[in-house]
Chains A and B, each alone.
Chain A
Amino acid sequence: SSELTQDPAVSVALGQTVRITCQGDSLRFSFASWYQQKPGQAPVLVVYDKTHRPSGIPDRFSASASGDTASLTITGAQAEDEADYFCNSRDVTSNHAIFGGGTKLTVL
């Protein structure tokens, strides 16, 4: 299957920890990347190669993967983390990119 499944919405209390998951067969063979998108803005890469952060991304963002599931964890969520989060990876059969449907994170 060339799909990535994400929970549509997740909420977290300010300062608490939240995990956003992404599930799909492609994740068994290919790294996930994670993007943050705020309203009216382009997506921003926050994690690549399963666990690495681009420069400028706070270290409260971390990621992991096991089997067919990748996870993005925000430790000590801040108000500015409220956004949509998308995962993506490579479909190894066709070599094209696939995106998850996105998770809307609300910080309470």
Chain B
Amino acid sequence: QVQLQESGPGLVKPSETLSLICNVTGASISSYYFSWIRQSPGKGLEWIGYIHESGSTNYNPSLKSRVTMSADTSRNQFSLKLTAVTAADTAFYYCARDRLPHLVLYALDIWGPGTAVTVSS
């Protein structure tokens, strides 16, 4: 059974860099596209971007200047870095896998439980 698990600091200071890891177990990350999505308290879902093991990425234009995603196939995990964070970046962060390999469908059928990140001094 494929499982995703996000991890990282729960508290980040303003202007610093938020770094999260999504660890994948039960299957290889090879061939699939993985997305990061966030949800501010009481709000809807915001797609941050996707990463493929090949290094291919696509970022939400509203965050593109601050986002970097990378994949580590040896560890079967991928990461999200968001620079220059502000209180507006306080949210629950999820990683999720697209449903079929090799395709960007945005039909995200496997999600991690998410991790809460607060931006505060």
A residues near B (Cβ < 8 Å) are: 31, 33, 35, 41-45, 48-49, 54, 86, 88-90, 94-102
Select which of B35, B44, B111 is within 8 A of A42 by beta carbon: B111
The contact sample of 27 A-B pairs, CB cut-off 8 A, is A31-B105, A33-B105, A33-B107, A35-B45, A35-B108, A42-B111, A42-B114, A43-B94, A44-B111, A45-B107, A45-B108, A48-B105, A48-B107, A54-B109, A88-B45, A90-B104, A94-B61, A95-B104, A96-B49, A96-B60, A97-B50, A97-B106, A98-B47, A99-B37, A99-B46, A100-B44, A102-B44
- In the complex, chain B residues whose CB is within 8 Å of the CB of A49: 105, 107
Place the interface of chain B in its size category: 20 to 34
A91 to chain B, nearest CB (A): 10
Provide the B87-103 mask, 1 if CB < 8 A to any CB of A, else 0.
00000001010010000
With A42-B111, A48-B99, A96-B58 as contacts: A86 and B106 at CB distance below 8 Å: no
Q: Are B111 and A95 in contact (CB under 8 A)?
A: no
DSSP majority for the B interface?
Answer: strand
Between B49, B107, B112, the greatest number of chain A beta carbons within 10 A of the residue's beta carbon is seen for B107
Question: Are the C-beta atoms of A96 and B47 separated by less than 8 Å?
Answer: yes
Which B residues touch A48, using CB under 8 A? 99, 105, 107, 109
Residues of A within 8 A of B50 (CB): 97
Contact A96–B107 (Cβ < 8 Å): no
Assess the A95–B99 pair: CB atoms within 8 A.
no
Cα–Cα, bound, A49→B101 (Å): 15
Residue in B closest to A55 when the chains form the complex, CB atoms: B109
